[in-house]
Amino acid sequence: MKKSSLLILLLIVLTGCRSTPFGGHAVIDWVDFIKWEDIEYNGIYSGVLADEKFIGEKLGTVKYKVADNVTNPNYKIRNGDAAFHEKGTEIFTIHGQPNLIAVKDASQINGYRVYYSRDETEQQWHFKNVPLDKVNKIEIYQPYTSAGNKLLSTYTNHEELKHILELLKNSEESPNFSPNTEKGDPDYFQIVLYTDQPIAYKFDLQFDGATYYWYPGDPAILSNEIETYLKKK
C-alpha cells in the first residue's frame, strides 16, 4: 500500500499537476509559452521590449489558450497554442532577433510580452549579462497598482546612471536572506535598464520596511542610497 501511494504521488509530481489520484481532471501549472512553427517560445521574465519600433511583421495569431481549458496532463501542445494568451492574440517578430517573438500585453511595461526560443538560445537576460557601459536609460516602476505599472522616475544623466548601476553592482549577496513581513507585504519596484538593444533588462526590487533587496540571482542587499532613486520625480 505504501509503495502504491508513493507511485501515485510521484506521477502527480512528474506531470506538474495538482489533482486527486482518482479524479478525472487535473489543474496544470503551465509555463508561460507560445508554440509557433514547431518551435516552443518561453516568456522572458527579466526582460521587456525596449520600444514598439522594434516590433516587426505579424506572424499570425494564437489559436488556442491551454490554461483553464486543458486538464489532461498528457496533452501535447500544438502550433498556435499559448499558455495564457487568448485565441486571436497577434504574434509578431522582433527586428534583428530571429529567436524572439512578441505579443501585445497591456500588463507589461511598454505594452508587449517577449518570448525566446528555448531550443535556439538560452535565457540570457541576467544582471551579469548587462553591458553596463551601454546602459543609456533607467526607469523605475511601481508594479501591481490599480492602474498597472506606474512609472515613478526616468534617468538618462550619465552620473545618475553610473551611481545607480554601482549600487546594483555593489549589492551584497545574501542567499539566506528572508524579508521581514511582520507588518505586511514589502513594497515592490521594478527597475528597467535600457541599452541600444530591442530587449531591456528588468529586475524586481523590494523594501520590507528596513532593507532594500533585489534578485540578480540569489537575493542581494542594496544600500539604502537606492531610496533616492525610487521616489517619484
- Give 161-204 as a 3 state SS string: HHHHHHHHHCCEECCCCCCCCCCCCCEEEEEEEECCCCEEEEEE
Q: Tell me: the pLDDT tens digits for 110-137?
A: 999 999 998 887 788 999 999 999 999 9
The bridge status of strand 199-207 relative to strand 187-194 is antiparallel
pLDDT of residue 24: 52
Whether the CB-CB separation of 168 and 66 falls below 8 Å is answered with no
Which residues are registered as beta bridge partners of 28? 17
Burial class (CB in 10 A: 0-12, 13-18, 19+), 112: buried
pLDDT of residue 25: 60
Q: Please, which pLDDT band fits residue 224 given cuts at 50, 70 and 90? A: very high
Closest alpha carbon to 203 in 122, 126, 146, 137: 126
Q: Please, which pLDDT band fits residue 217 given cuts at 50, 70 and 90? A: confident
Q: Taking all residues of the chain, what is their mean pLDDT, rounded to a whole number?
A: 89
- In this predicted structure, the answer to whether residue 49 has a pLDDT above a threshold of 90 is yes
The bridge status of strand 172-173 relative to strand 220-222 is antiparallel
Q: Please, which pLDDT band fits residue 16 given cuts at 50, 70 and 90? A: very low
Distance CA 125, CA 219 (A): 17
Q: pTM to 2 decimals? A: 0.86
- In this predicted structure, the answer to whether residue 213 has a pLDDT above a threshold of 70 is yes
Mean pLDDT of 49-65: 97
- In this predicted structure, the answer to whether residue 99 has a pLDDT above a threshold of 90 is yes
Query: Locate cell 499570425: which residue?
Result: 60
Domains and CATH numbers, the chain: 27-118 (2.170.150), 126-232 (2.60.40)
The CB-based long-range contact list for 155-160 (8 Å cut-off, 24+ gap) reads 155/229, 160/229
Distance CA 79, CA 81 (A): 6
